[in-house]
Every structure is written in structure tokens, then in C-alpha cells.
Structure 1
Amino acid sequence: LMEVRLQAQEDEITLLKSSLADALRKLHLHDQQIPLLKQQLIAGKRFPTTIRTLQQQQSKSSEDSQGSCPQTPTSSSPAPPKEPASSPHGGPLSSIREGEKMLCVDPQKWNQALAGCLNSLLLVLVTRCNCKHQSHLHFHIFMLCILPFILLTGQSIKMFIRGRPITMYIPSNILNYEELRMDLPSQKLDLDWVYGYRGRDCRANLYLLPSGEAVYFIACVVVLYHISNQTQRHYQKHTDCVRCLAIHPDKVRVASGQTAGVDKDGKPLQPFVHIWDSKTLVTLQQIGLGTFERGVGAVAFSSSVSIPSHFAFFPNTNEAVLAVDFSPTDTNNIISCGKSHVYFWTMTAGTLTKKQGIFGKYKKPKFVLCFVFSLTGDVLTGDSEGNILTWGKSAADIKTLGKGAKETFQIMKQTRAHEGSVFTMCVLQGGAILSGGGKDRKIIRWSADLAPERECEIPEKFGAVRTIADVDGEELLVGTTRNAILRGTFSDGFVAIVQGHVDEMWGLATHHTQNIFLTCGNDRQVCVWNAEEHKLDWCTTLEESGLCADFSPNGAVVSVGLSTGRWVVLDLQTKEVVSDLTDGNEQLSVMRYSPDGSFLAVGSHDNFIYIYNVTEGGRRYTRFGKCTGHSSFITHLDWSKDGKYVMSNSGDYEILYWDVASGCKLLRNRFESKDRKWASYTCVLGFHVMGVWLEGSDGTDINALCRSHSESMVAVADDFCKVHLFQYPCPKPKAPSYKYEGHGSHVTNVRFTHNDSHLLSMGGKDTCILQWRVKGAGTGDHKEHLASSSSVCSSSSSPENGT
């Protein structure tokens, strides 16, 4: 209760501070506007002529002039807007109108009406004031100069985030804000390609189907990748990260289990297992809903095809379970292994009883990581000590276990296999056994009696061997701990067919003329991908984490901002660093070239935006200036189309505008920027994207957004694993959108390709990159999910109202 009260008091203090800051800013703006308007009023061509004409008319009858003039301002000048009525806000995010009626008119008509208003009021002033007293006239003109600013404040809207008011000025081309209609975008998204593989912390998650497709998973998507045709299909019915996989003996049905998650309100979501058809991608059965707590770590089918198959899963034991499987000779026998144990289970009348494997004189390993059944029926386990242990039944040891003890499973043989852990084992058709090592990164082929026959070592950059899938007895698929899938043989070596990042990603940039994009993250890797050929073009490793990036407009170089204030520029042809600079000592959050490439803006967590002159085709940078004025770290920024201005957002939800051409000057009057055209729109706060914020959101719910180059749609990356697609502009609250699932972590960034043919979204902890195909307006009910069972791809989308 005290925490709630304290939080409420903090929100009230924040609101008071922001209101005070807003009032001080307006007072300062008054001080700046009054002399300027006064000077324009006196120096203008129209008003001096009017004053002289009015002075000449003083000789006329004062009764006629005084009888008509007092009515003129009453009928000609619009009344100042009323103060907005105080009303409780429904949540941290809400919007109000400044004034009961909007003064949204065409700028030319507004100027004409304002000029008429000023003429009428000047007539009153001149006829009532003796022109000999110039100070009186100047005073009234001085007071009159305030009127335009007071009236213009009615052309704005306020939204509140965490109690802080954010003023949005309405562009002049919007004549009636209330009548704006927010529709769903005419385009939709369809999942086209998935980059990455989850090998860093999952096991037994790579299989080969008779169709020639490799089955694996990452984030919430199970990928079916046809190796020869280089095409993908996707199973997308999971609501959180997939953690385990099993293939039925018929090689058609697939079981996939997921972890537990939370919804946007923090409520837990229950994990489950889906059994589905790999040919049609149709879900056959969902099991375990309400049974599991944290997630499903291992799944297995029984090996019998002639009888109905059993299914096993081990989610809720006290000890970590890393693998589970049925005995190939008896479906009532199940083996599981994990932390310091091997259990032999027997199923009788639906009840499981277990016997623990006895290590006896052999050292008990910290983890038993994997096991297989040999053709002779023995159980072979691989452990964290680098050994392969052969297990068999033996008579009870009465001296150890006591009188009346039953038979036990004990180690019959120990084989030294690898330096470091044995992560995986695989049995080939002829009885030979493959093992994959952790520390030594070796794949060893063993005979049926565990005599080594052949071995090879995978390159260090791919990490350790996580899992092995047999293709044809010679060719193998290998999943690695650095999220790569390799294809090859002992003779020819291995090459990567799937690659990905291994840690949280934040930086994403798309090329201005080509179908390539760049990603970077906490794994210090900078990767350049080909979106058309769905492959990694090249990758380099930096000394620090990369958090943001941008391609230069000429397409020759790309700048990458790092976690220490340092930033580097890479040549796309030579892949070498051509420039290396540092701004401050805090992480950089945004890099953005001006439309013509002559400037580079660098947004930092030290609250500054650094502006650089760019010469020599993007290879030489000199400091031009520094934008100072934000009271928190920079989060997003964009350039105007003429390359003279910058719009920026900060961590305390400020929207500021900068005149770069005039020396990085802060534009105090933000109203002047309401009609400015922006070359890109990635700022999450602004009038044109105000509708993407859901009611009740706080300022961290949206991590990134991106407007399409056609300026018809805007994609949003949120903190709840979703990608949203809105129409653009989107200036009204509760705007409808299409919602797309697939990520298993917060979505950190989104970008459209240069021709808007695809959208790229990037997960944080799930290390997954999803490439979405942008499709034109479809037919049918928008309220239906776009769940497809076609042979090409299946995607999931649903519209939501922003509530």
C-alpha cells in the first residue's frame, strides 16, 4: 500500500514538474514572440498603410467611428480558447483537446482572418488614442501582438505518458481533427523468412524429414527449411518460445513444446505441447494446457508405428530434465536424464515408477546431457565429464541397497570420448554412433562397440556441437551453440546453411537502394544480410556491443554506434573500418544520415545529439555542432526532407526540434515545425504516430517504429513480442492495427526495405530476425486471423482497436 501511495506521489510530482516546465517554456516563448511579432507588424506593408489610412480618417465624425468600431472586434475576432475542463485521466496515457473547439484552418485563410482582426482592432486603437502619444499606440500594438500566439495554442492536442503532458501540434492541412477516420492499413504482412536457430540453450532440436526439409525452431516459430530448394515453411501456433521438438516415427507428425510466458498485463500464460502435421501445418492436438507450470523441456514419441503411439514429456520434476525417450523395444520403458541423474521409468496401468541409475565406482557427473539406444538394446549416455557410459541391468547389490532390493541399472562400461562435455549422440542406420563435443568442438564416429573410426572439428566461430542429424549416412546436419546449422561430411568439412546472432540485438538498418540490411547487438557481431537471397553476406566482430546503425545514402558505407560512446564507419566493399570516433562515454542509441548524406546525427545517452559534416563519400567526418537541450537520453531522431532540421525524442518523453543549418539551434516554438516534412519517421512520439500508443501504456511499451517509404503505413515494435501495422498518418488514439506474432522476446527494432516490399523485425533475447512480406489489400473479414496452411508459409495476424 505504501509503495502504491509513493508511486502516486511520484507521478504527481512528475506531473507538477512537467507542467511547471511547460509553463516556463511558454513564458519564454512569449518573451521571444512579442518583439518578433511587433517588429513584423510595424515593418509590414499592409499594416502601416492601414494605420496611415486610419489616421487620415480621424477628421471624420467620431460618433460614426465610435459607434461602429466597438462592434467590429466582437464580430471579427475569434474568442480565445477556453481552458480545458479538468477531468481524471483514464490511465497513464490519454489525450485531451486544448479548447472546446479546434481552430484548424488553412494557413492562408487564417492569415487573412488574422489580418482582418488586427485591422479592426487597430481601428479602435487609432480612433481612441491620440496619435501624439506614440507610447500609448505602441503599448496597444505590443498587447495586440500577443493575440496570435494565444489563438494558435488552440491548434494542439495533449497526450499523457506516466503523468507527463506531451503537446502535439496539428498540421495545417488537417481542417477538422475530430472527423479524421482511422482505418486499418490497406497492406498486410505475411511471414517470408526466419533468420537464426536456437542452439545456445536447447538440445535435440534439429531433424530431417523425408521431404528434404530440416525442422528446427527459434523464438515462437518452428521452421521447415528445404535444404535443396532453399525455401521455408513455418508453423506459428505457439504463443511463446518453443523449447523442445520431437518427430513421430511416421516422419509426418511433429510435437513441439513451449515455455510459459506472460501477457501485456503481466499475467502468466500456460505452456502446452502442440502435435501437428508437417505436410499441412495443421494442428492435430493441443495437450498439457493447465498441467505445466514453467514450460516443457523435453518431448518424445514411442517408436512403435503399428500401435497407437505414446507420448512423454517431463516438465515438472524437481531436478532439471535434459532428455527423455521411449525404449525402442518396450514402449512401457522410458529413460530420462539431467542434473546428476539417469532415471529408468516403467509405465504400468498409467502409473510411472522409476529406478535410479547407480554410478557406483564411477565418478558421478554434474550433468548427464544426452543418451541413445544402441542396436543391442544398451543405453549409452553422454555427460559433462566427456565420457560415454554404457548402462545395463544387473542383480541387486544387497550389501549396498539392503536385503530384498530389486535389480538395478548400472554402468557396464566407460569410454573417454571428448574433452569437455558430450552434448549430443546420434545412432546411424548401420549401428555406428556419432558424438558431438563441447569444448573440443569435435564430431566423432564410433563403431557399435565404441571404437573410434573418424573425427572432424568444426570451426571455432560456430561454437560447440549442440545436436547432430543424419542425412544419408555420410552427410550430416549439425546444430551449434552459436546458433548456426552446418551441413557437410567428414571428408569435405562443414559449411553454414543457417546463421544468427547469439545475444540480444538492437541495431537494425536497411540499405537505401539494395535488398540488404545490417544487424548488430550485444554479441559484438555486425552482420550484413541479403534479404532477397535470404543469406548472410558477411559478418565482422567489433570490440564492443553494437546498438544502432545507419547506411549512408550513397550506399557505400554504414555507421555503427557502440555501447561506450564510440562509433565506427565500415566500408561495405572492403569490410574495413574507415572512420573511428568517440562522442562522450555513454552508449549511443541512434545514428542517422541526412537525406543528402552531408550530415550525420549521433544520438547519445549523455543527452546530446552530435552533428558531423560528412565528406569523401562518407569516409571523412568532422564535428559540425552539438544539440544541447534534452534533459534525458536520446532515443530516436529523424531528419527533415530538406536536411536542415532534426526531430528527436528522449527518455523523458520530450519532443524537440533543432535547426541544424543555423548551428544546431533548439527551436523553442515547436508550433513552427508542425508542417515540416520528414525524410524518415522513426520517432515514437509525434502527432503523426500518436495513435500507435495503447491506452494505459507507459513510455517503454514501444521500442521502435518505422514509416514506410510510401508514407502509407507505419510498423511498430512493442515490448510484448508483437509487431503492429498501422496506417500512416495515425494521429488519433485507439487506432486499429494488424498484430503479428512470432517473436519470443521484446521486439527491439523494425525497418522497411528500400522499396517497401518487406518489413524486417528483430527480437531482443530471442536473437531472431523475421522478414515479413508486405502484401496489398486482401479480401475477407479483417477480424479473422491470417492463419494459412498453404505449402508456402503460414502467418498469424489479427486486427486490434488499440484498446
Structure 2
Amino acid sequence: MSRQDSKLSINSNISSRWREDLQNYQAIKVTIFKNGDQWFDGYELRFKPQKEYRSLDALFNKLNPKIEFTGAVNYLFDTDGNMVRRVEDLEDGQTYVASSSKKFIPANYGRRGEAFWINGHRPQPYYSYRRRSMSSKSSSSDSKPGSGDGKVIKIINNEDTSIVERVLLNLKTTQQFEDVVRDLGQVLKIPNADRMYSLSGREVKSFSHLRHEFYDEDVFAISAGATKVDKSIYQMSRHTSASSSRKSTRLRSGASTRRELETSGGNLKILINGVRKIYHPPGRLPREDNRPPGRHIHLEWVHGYRGVDRFRNLVVLQKGEIVYFVGAVAVIMYIQEDTQRHYIEHNEDIQCIALHPRDDFIATGQIDGKDEVSRSHIRIWSVTTLETVAVLGHGELENGVISVAFSSLNKGQYLAAVDGSIEHVLSVWDWDKAELLARVVTNVIKMCGVTFHPFDNNLIITYGTGHLCFWSRRKDSFFERVDVAEKEAPNVTFQAIDFMESGDLVVGDSSGFISSYSVTDEGEYFRSLHYAAHSKEITCILMMVEGTLISSSAKDRKLKAWDTHQDFKKMAETELPAALGAAVAICQQWPGRSDANVYIGTDRNIIVEGSLQRKFEIVAFGHVSKINDVATCPNDVALVSVGSDRLIACWRRTKLIWKQNSPVEPLCVCYNPTGTIVATGLSDGNMVILKADSGDHVTTSRVCGSAITAIRFCIDGDLVACASHNGSIYLYKVSRDGFSYKKHGKLTGGQLLAHLDWDEGSEYIQTCSTDFNLNFWNATSNRMEKVGSVLREKVWMNQTCPVGWAVAGLWNNHNYKEETTLTSVNVSNNNELVASGDTAGYVRLSRWPTLNPKAEFHEIKIASHEVSALKFFYDDSYVVGTGGLEGGVFKFRIL
């Protein structure tokens, strides 16, 4: 190298270092706004990142005297709500939001002028209704255009449409809504104005109505008295909407208006739990179709049984069908033909069940709901047609229905029920006439059940803690009460009863004793027998047709048979395996026949069939507690569920294929694309890989120290992503056989992640946090995408995140009966349907995508608690949902 070339090279290196240092110490300019105050003018700050402020704390000290909060500035966000964690992340010329709390409040920070004009035109001088609150500083500031508490609207005289004014309403005014409408009428020259209507003719009745139901409308008609909206107003509005849409740069669908709260720069904004969320739809939105989907959901099969906290909840029909309940669904299962039918008219969890003596009707009572519609009541329905024939006690029974029973001697004409109120009220109806015959307060600490005496329609027995009582109903509808419980044992609970052929009452109690009670010729009740049958509490007893009594204990899981013809001599004894649990319900397999086979429901949510002489076989199996997630096989009608009971279970069609116990609670599960591997994420931060056909363990990988809440394979199965509670996503490289996993990368965030989806190119990931923030990640560069709008055209493998532009219409739907929070969504493989589950226990089927809150849907309520997961089968023939405290798996056929 020549001396001249060497000199140039040295100078070049020196210049390069200078340029690097100059870049590091070059001053940048940022504008800082105040969180939640879009009218703050903004504080312009120039500084050198590497020299003046080496940490955010030093920067916050600078901002504290400039931006006043009740506390100190502790956080910094970009305008999309992403938290800034390093000074180096600040970019020259950008806008940021300072905050004293972690909660980011979306607003139009720094946007003025044209951004707040209506339809591109400057509004006329505003008429702001603040006459009674002019001294309030907050009211005057809240009424600015674009404010979350101010609404600019056009008002039209319904009698004279030539009179039009544009006004700004302060939605925080202390005036009554009726006074404001009257003032608006004065502006429009309408004496005694008292009605405001939308263009569709719906009346606006309050500020809350205006804020929520009519958030996307800005033209209203004012009138005096009830009337119809003038057609010219509607036509004028349509013309204005059409002209403005032609001038708009955003592509619109065929609908006249978009239903979203606001549209600014192509962004979509909706309210989720009172917080405004911003999403970025694609440039060309699909055409809105608010009709219900052309296909329906039909409940075909339920895996599960609720025995963990319910007793006497299993009955058998004469032709061999068993009836029980899971969540809000009553299941009629015919084991011989492997079929199920379902009664789905309850709107809260079923709590008790009773079979009519003629075997053609069933009564079920539900728990108390949150609203008037879902209050405690009893439904009597036909076993054959599944139609409701009577509804009793709606609004009269408090805190749920504990027990129901039909009378026997008069062919089931009467129905008795005990509610869950403090007094435990006993009610008796002539149910066919819906006539209340009598009601009495029992004043029991804990009530377990009620039943009629088989030989007397007016003799009712109630039992519970320290309580065993005979109630004789007189003609004047009053009761004569006889307590037969021993007063020296007030803490003994009577929780299992039946009747002998002679009519004597047989009772099993919590101390392990079986007693019988008889009546003298003078009508006095006395205890005729008392013996120790079990060492611990007796949970259920059954009097067989041939005179054999079967009893079961919850502690030792033993079943014992007693010969009532030989002074209750023990005939046989067996013990249920620990995996099956203890019996909580026993029914004879063929009622009325001398058959030793029985059906037993256990506290492990399992129903078994067998006898004391032979092995018990499982006929219904379920999780013991809440199911956390479910996954469907990509090439078979199989699914895997994981629950808080630490159980991993695989089902195919109607059968349980395999189950595995996990050392800790599994929170999420998925199949690999070939369907050969099942990956589960555990609460201790481990990822466990199992074989899909057998459940055999393959390998365990230590991912992190926090719970794994979502796990998904990419489209070709080469990568698997694990989302964690610590806010990070961990990527693993997968071998071809799916048996080997090597750490590939880590994407660091800061929010508690709950859902995860891959894009079809396996380059990007979208996640939903526990507070419903939607974030995007670049799996190639291992960084979060701060500008989500750049991915607006991305196509995702599936939509399991319950937020986003394509599911925006599922939120705040006007057809919902209550405020609902979505907990799970899933899109069909043909991209025509979307299934959604919520905290109220509803499964809904809608069109995909769902853009409008006015979109119709089909729904079924499966439980009182949240629907934790939903998945379509690979061929879209079924959608599977999990919900309820008892861990039911509900399989719906798509018709």
C-alpha cells in the first residue's frame, strides 16, 4: 500500500469514528405530551441521549416540573401505547406521552385543527351546554371538540327540516338530559321539545345512551312529543354520507356508515372494558354482512360430569338412558347406542335434578344468576321432546335451588323444592297448573335435600346438618313439623336417604351410621334401627328392588351391600380405585328389575357402570376442575384438553383415548402441523412434548421461570413459540421428527401475555396481553414491531387473540344481554365463521370477519362461568368449547 493510500485509509477510519461519535452525541428533538390530556400543548425537548440523559430516570427528573401530575413522571409511552424502556429507544422528531402510572390512555396527542373538523368542514360556532357548571374547570375543558366527554352533533328540526344547527354537547354537564333536549329545542325554535331521535328512528333517552348506543352517529332529530323521523332528514343524511365517503381516502364497504367509535388515519378504535383500543385494518376492508351466519351450531356431545360438589345428580330412565348435568346443560346419554341428547334451556348452572315417577318428565333447578332473567328457578321438561312444560319459582327462589322432588302416590302431580336462602324455604307446587300450594321456612344451617314419602303425597322429608324433619301438609296449606334428628348430635349431617318397601325411611349420616325410622299406628315417628356401616361419612345409599341396600363412603371409597330382610346383614363389599374417586350418586342400571348392576357418579367427575361382584367400567369421564386450553388435531377428529386438575386428556369422537397426569398445572396445549406431537406449556415454565397417539412423554424443555400461557407451532412446524407471563416470547427450533427442541431466540416484552398467533409466512407473531393489548413481533429480528400499522395486510394462520380489527364487532354487541368480556375466539379453516366464548358462558357463532357490533349470531349457553377455549376441527365439521368450573368439554356440530 502506498503512503498516500495509507494516509487516506487512516483519515477514513478517523472520520468514521468521528461520525459514529457525532451520531451518538447528536442532539435529538422529541415532543412530550401528558397522558390522558390531549389538549396539553406538548413540551418540546432537545437533548443528547448518550451525554445528557443516560437513563430514563434522569429524563423523568427533567420532565417533572414541566408536566404536572399528582405524582411524579414514572413512565414514557409512544403514541401507540408501547412503553419506552431505554433512552436509546427515543427517535428524533417523534412524539411521546409521559405518565405517572402504567395505564396508557389513548388520545389524539398533538393533533389539532383539521383532525377535529366534521366531514372535512369546519363546524359552526358551538353551542355548549355548560350553563349550570360554568365554574367547573373540568367541565369547560371536557367540552372541547374531540374530547372523550364532548360530542359534536348536528340537530335538525323534525317539523321544519330547513332549521339545522351544529352544536357541541358536554356529556359531563350536571344538567338533566331532558333539560338539554329542551334547550336544543329552543335553538331549533321548537317549543316544549322533549324527544331526540337518531336517523333510524330510535329514541335517545340519556347521555349514557348517546355515548354508547349512538357513539357512531352525529345527526339527530329534535321534536316535541312522540313522532317519526321525517323522511327528508334521512335522505339528506344519506346524501351527505355518500358525498363524504367519495371524498374519503379510506376505502369503505357497501354499508352507509362504519360502526366503529372513531376512524382516524385508517385506524380502528373500540372500547374494551372501558379502555379505548386501537387496531389497524387492511387497506381494503371486506364487505360488511351483519346477518347471522348461514350455518348453526348444534350441541352433539359433552365430555364430563359434575360430581365434585354435587350429590344425587344422576338418574336412570326405564329404557336405560342416564341423565345428569354439566354446567347449564342436562345430558341424556344412551350408552348402548353411544348417543347423547341435551336440554339447553337453562341460563345458569344446573344444581339439582329429579325424575318424574312416570319416567316422562324431569325437573332441574339452577343457581342464581346476575340479572333478572337468570334468577333461580325450576324447569320441568319432557324427556322425549326436550321441550319445557313448566317454569316454577322464577323470582321467588333465592340463592339457587338446592333440591327438587316429585310426589309418588299421585303420579307426580306435586313438586317440592328447597332454595339456598338463609332460611332454606320449602315450597310445594301443583306443577302442571303452576300453582303454589304451600311454603314454609325450615331454618336449617345446611340443607342437603328434600323428598316426598312414597305412600303420602302430603308428607315431605327434609334433611341436612342436625336436621331430619317430617312435614305434614294440612288442607289449609300449613305444615305440621316433626323433628326426628337426635338433639345430642347437632353437627351430624344427614345427606343420603331412601325408602324401604315397607315405607320406613333409611338415612345415612356423616358419622358413618345408617338409621331407619318408622311410624306407629298413632302416627308417631321413631328410630327403629341404628348401626355403624362405615368409619366415615356416608355420601349416598340406594335401595335395590330385591331389598338390598347399597351404601358408599366418601373417605374410604368403599361400597357395601346390606340385606334388609336379615336385619341389614352385610352381604358384600368392594372399594373403588383412587383414580375413580368416591361415590356421590348411585342408581340401579335397570330400574324396576332385579339386576345387581348400578351406575355410580363419583367426586372425580366420572360415571362408572358395574356391580360389587365385577369391575367398574367408565362410561363418562371429565376433568375435575376448570379446563385451561384445548387443541384439535390438524388431520383427525381428535382433541387434547389440559386443566387445572393437572390432567392432560386426549379424546377421539366420543371416547377418551389416553390421559396423563402432569407434575404441575398445564396452562396451554397445541398440536404440531402433522398431528404427531402435542406440546403443552406448564405453570412452572417448562414445555412438555408428548406423542399424540399414546400420550407418551418425549422430552421436557426448560423455557423460563414464569408460566407458559400460550404455545403455537408455525405453519411448517419448524418453530414453536411459547408466550410467558413475564411478557416474553421464546422461540424453539424443532427437528423434523418433532422430538428435539433447541432454543432459537427470545422476544422481550413487558406485558402478561395470554394468546399467540403466527402469520402464514412464519415471520411475525401477534399476541394479546391479559389487559387486551394487541402487539406484533418480528420472529426474524427478535424485536417487537412498534408500528403495528405496517402489518395491517398480514394474514394470520388462525385468530386465537380475542382482539383485533377482524373481531371488533364481537365486542360491545348490541344483542348481548349484559356487558361481556371475550375470553376466546377461533376462526374456521375456510375463513367463513368465527366462534367466540365469553365470561358469561356463551358460545357464539358469527360471520368472519365480524366488523359491526350490530352483527347477528347464533348462541348457546353452556355454563355460568367463562368459556376458556374454543377450537374448530380441521374439516370445520365441529367446534369444541370448554367451560365451567366442572371442566366440561362441549362438542358442537356445524350444520
TM-score, structure 2 length as denominator?
A: 0.68
For residues 802 and 214 of structure 2, what CA distance do their matches in structure 1 show? 14
Shift, 1:554, TM fit? 1.7
Which of the numbers 462, 482, 487 marks the counterpart of 2:580?
462
For residues 451 and 163 of structure 1, what CA distance do their matches in structure 2 show? 67
Q: Equivalent residue for 1:344?
A: 470
For residues 169 and 493 of structure 1, what CA distance do their matches in structure 2 show? 60
Q: Equivalent residue for 1:390?
A: 516
CA contact (8 A) 1:433 1:445 kept: yes
For residues 809 and 405 of structure 2, what CA distance do their matches in structure 1 show? 46
Q: Equivalent residue for 2:296?
A: 188
Change in Cα spacing, 1:281 to 1:573, as seen in structure 2 (3 Å) is: closer
Find out whether 1:233 has 2:359 as its counterpart.
no
Q: Equivalent residue for 1:260?
A: 368
Once the two structures are overlaid, the 10-residue window that deviates more, 363-372 or 480-489, is 363-372
Aligned residues: 653
CA contact (8 A) 1:299 1:311 kept: yes
Find out whether 1:200 has 2:308 as its counterpart.
yes
Which of the numbers 325, 339, 350 marks the counterpart of 1:217?
325
Shift, 1:738, TM fit? 1.9
Q: Equivalent residue for 1:170?
A: 281
> What root-mean-square deviation, in Å, do the aligned CA atoms of Structure 1 and Structure 2 show?
3.3
Cα distance per residue 1:682-740 (max 9 Å; x no partner): 11111111111116999981111011111111111101111111111123343322222
Change in Cα spacing, 1:13 to 1:304, as seen in structure 2 (3 Å) is: farther
CA contact (8 A) 1:29 1:669 kept: no
Change in Cα spacing, 1:585 to 1:212, as seen in structure 2 (3 Å) is: same
CA contact (8 A) 2:466 2:485 kept: no
Change in Cα spacing, 1:26 to 1:435, as seen in structure 2 (3 Å) is: closer
Structure 1: give runs of 5+ residues left out of the alignment.
1-7, 35-78, 107-151, 396-405, 776-803
Q: What is the one-letter code of the residue matched to 1:222? A: A
CA contact (8 A) 2:469 2:485 kept: no
Change in Cα spacing, 1:270 to 1:155, as seen in structure 2 (3 Å) is: closer
Q: What is the one-letter code of the residue matched to 2:517? A: W
For residues 74 and 851 of structure 2, what CA distance do their matches in structure 1 show? 26
For residues 587 and 377 of structure 1, what CA distance do their matches in structure 2 show? 58
For residues 512 and 604 of structure 2, what CA distance do their matches in structure 1 show? 20
Which of the numbers 356, 369, 374 marks the counterpart of 2:483?
356
Which of the numbers 753, 759, 764 marks the counterpart of 1:634?
753
For residues 81 and 771 of structure 2, what CA distance do their matches in structure 1 show? 17
Matches within 5 A, 1:111-126: none
Shift, 1:158, TM fit? 2.2
TM-score, structure 1 length as denominator?
A: 0.76
Shift, 1:756, TM fit? 0.7
Which of the numbers 731, 751, 764 marks the counterpart of 1:645?
764
Kindly indicate whether structure 1 or structure 2 has the higher relative contact order, using CA contacts under 8 Å at least 6 residues apart.
1
Q: What is the one-letter code of the residue matched to 2:659? A: C
Q: Equivalent residue for 2:605?
A: 483
Q: What is the one-letter code of the residue matched to 1:418? A: H
Q: What is the one-letter code of the residue matched to 1:554? A: T
Q: Equivalent residue for 2:157?
A: none
For residues 741 and 582 of structure 1, what CA distance do their matches in structure 2 show? 39
Change in Cα spacing, 1:519 to 1:761, as seen in structure 2 (3 Å) is: same
Q: Equivalent residue for 2:115?
A: 82
Change in Cα spacing, 1:513 to 1:379, as seen in structure 2 (3 Å) is: same
CA contact (8 A) 2:820 2:840 kept: no
CA contact (8 A) 1:501 1:525 kept: yes
Change in Cα spacing, 1:620 to 1:93, as seen in structure 2 (3 Å) is: farther
Q: Equivalent residue for 1:251?
A: 359
Cα distance per residue 1:120-153 (max 9 Å; x no partner): xxxxxxxxxxxxxxxxxxxxxxxxxxxxxxxx97
Change in Cα spacing, 1:683 to 1:358, as seen in structure 2 (3 Å) is: closer
For residues 721 and 550 of structure 2, what CA distance do their matches in structure 1 show? 53
For residues 318 and 480 of structure 2, what CA distance do their matches in structure 1 show? 36
Shift, 1:181, TM fit? 3.9
For residues 373 and 522 of structure 1, what CA distance do their matches in structure 2 show? 39
Q: Equivalent residue for 1:521?
A: 643
For residues 504 and 24 of structure 1, what CA distance do their matches in structure 2 show? 33
Once the two structures are overlaid, the 10-residue window that deviates more, 324-333 or 632-641, is 324-333
For residues 460 and 217 of structure 2, what CA distance do their matches in structure 1 show? 63
For residues 606 and 248 of structure 1, what CA distance do their matches in structure 2 show? 54
Change in Cα spacing, 1:192 to 1:407, as seen in structure 2 (3 Å) is: closer
CA contact (8 A) 1:93 1:162 kept: no
Q: Equivalent residue for 1:552?
A: 672
Find out whether 1:432 has 2:548 as its counterpart.
yes
Which of the numbers 295, 301, 318 marks the counterpart of 2:443?
318
Q: Which has the higher helix share?
A: 1
Change in Cα spacing, 1:504 to 1:256, as seen in structure 2 (3 Å) is: same
Once the two structures are overlaid, the 10-residue window that deviates more, 411-420 or 231-240, is 411-420
Q: Equivalent residue for 1:149?
A: none
Change in Cα spacing, 1:695 to 1:274, as seen in structure 2 (3 Å) is: closer
Find out whether 1:708 has 2:828 as its counterpart.
yes
Shift, 1:660, TM fit? 0.8
Structure 2: give runs of 5+ residues left out of the alignment.
1-35, 38-68, 95-111, 118-144, 150-210, 219-243, 253-262, 425-441
Q: Equivalent residue for 1:748?
A: 868
Cα distance per residue 1:523-581 (max 9 Å; x no partner): 11111111x2x111111111111111111112111111122222211122442222222
Shift, 1:355, TM fit? 1.1
Which of the numbers 840, 845, 849 marks the counterpart of 1:725?
845
Change in Cα spacing, 1:407 to 1:184, as seen in structure 2 (3 Å) is: closer
CA contact (8 A) 1:245 1:257 kept: yes
Change in Cα spacing, 1:13 to 1:259, as seen in structure 2 (3 Å) is: farther
For residues 408 and 243 of structure 1, what CA distance do their matches in structure 2 show? 34
Q: Equivalent residue for 1:624?
A: 744
Change in Cα spacing, 1:334 to 1:25, as seen in structure 2 (3 Å) is: closer
For residues 547 and 708 of structure 2, what CA distance do their matches in structure 1 show? 55
For residues 289 and 183 of structure 1, what CA distance do their matches in structure 2 show? 33
CA contact (8 A) 1:415 1:450 kept: no
Q: What is the one-letter code of the residue matched to 1:516? A: A
Change in Cα spacing, 1:180 to 1:299, as seen in structure 2 (3 Å) is: closer
For residues 732 and 289 of structure 1, what CA distance do their matches in structure 2 show? 34
Matches within 5 A, 1:59-78: none
Change in Cα spacing, 1:217 to 1:618, as seen in structure 2 (3 Å) is: same
Cα distance per residue 1:453-485 (max 9 Å; x no partner): 112222211110111111242211111111111
Once the two structures are overlaid, the 10-residue window that deviates more, 17-26 or 243-252, is 17-26
Shift, 1:377, TM fit? 2.5
Change in Cα spacing, 1:33 to 1:770, as seen in structure 2 (3 Å) is: farther
> Which SS does the other structure have where 1:751 is aligned?
strand
Q: What is the one-letter code of the residue matched to 2:761? A: D
Matches within 5 A, 1:437-456: 437-448=553-564, 449-456=567-574
Change in Cα spacing, 1:443 to 1:95, as seen in structure 2 (3 Å) is: farther
Q: Equivalent residue for 1:331?
A: 457
CA contact (8 A) 1:358 1:408 kept: no
Change in Cα spacing, 1:617 to 1:318, as seen in structure 2 (3 Å) is: farther
Q: What is the one-letter code of the residue matched to 2:715? A: P
For residues 351 and 571 of structure 1, what CA distance do their matches in structure 2 show? 65
CA contact (8 A) 1:303 1:328 kept: yes
Which of the numbers 696, 708, 724 marks the counterpart of 1:604?
724
Identical columns (%): 27
Q: What is the one-letter code of the residue matched to 2:620? A: V
Q: Equivalent residue for 2:132?
A: none
Runs of 4+ displaced beyond 4 Å: 16-20, 23-34, 91-97, 99-102, 695-700
Matches within 5 A, 1:558-577: 558-577=678-697
Q: Equivalent residue for 1:493?
A: 615
Q: Equivalent residue for 1:409?
A: 525
CA contact (8 A) 2:80 2:787 kept: no
> Which SS does the other structure have where 1:648 is aligned?
strand
Q: Equivalent residue for 1:103?
A: 249
For residues 202 and 162 of structure 1, what CA distance do their matches in structure 2 show? 34
